[in-house]
Structure 1
Amino acid sequence: MPTILRINGYRFYFYSHEPNEPPHVHVDKGEASLKAWLAPVALARNLGYRAHELNVILTLVREHRVTLVEARHEHFGDGR
């Protein structure tokens, strides 16, 4: 589970065993977790975040999308 970013207590990472899914990132903080698609940025799954936090996190994903996509590409080596 490579960690790509840590911002304001949020951990942005991806699983190494999900290469066949569309580009996405997982974000955890405390007991809460979500999965966000990267192209386009959208919520895929939410476990425990409140609505206002979702907006904050999805904004962070948009702001750091290039870094997140590049990290996935570097890890998987296939442009995802």
Structure 2
Amino acid sequence: MPSVLRIGAYRFFFYSNEWGEPPHIHIQSGKKLAKFWLDPVQLAKSKRFSALELKKLERLVEEHRELFWERWHEYFSNA
């Protein structure tokens, strides 16, 4: 489970066995989870995050999209 970034209580990561899916990022905070597609940035699914938090997370994913995109391709091109 490679972690890419931490911002406050949020951990941004992807699972190492997801090479067959389009680029995306998972976000965890305690027992809350979300998954965002990266192109375009769009919520794929979430558990326990409020609508307000999801808006905040979407902005964070958009702000760091290039980093997530680069890390995704670096990892899965070497996997």
TM-score, normalising length: structure 1: 0.95
Give unpaired runs (5+ residues) of structure 1: none
Task: Tell me the percent identity.
Answer: 47
Structure 2 residue matching 1:77: 3-state secondary structure: helix
> Cα RMSD over matched residues?
1.0
Structure 2, unpaired ranges of 5+: none
Deviation beyond 2 Å, 4+ runs, structure 1: none
Q: Deviations over 1:11-61 (max 9, x none)?
A: 000001010101100000011000100000000001000000000001000
Counterpart residue identity of residue 53, structure 1:
E
Q: How does 1:1-80 map to 2 (within 5 A)?
A: 1-77=1-77
TM-score (norm 2): 0.96
Query: What is the number of residues matched between the two proteins?
Result: 78
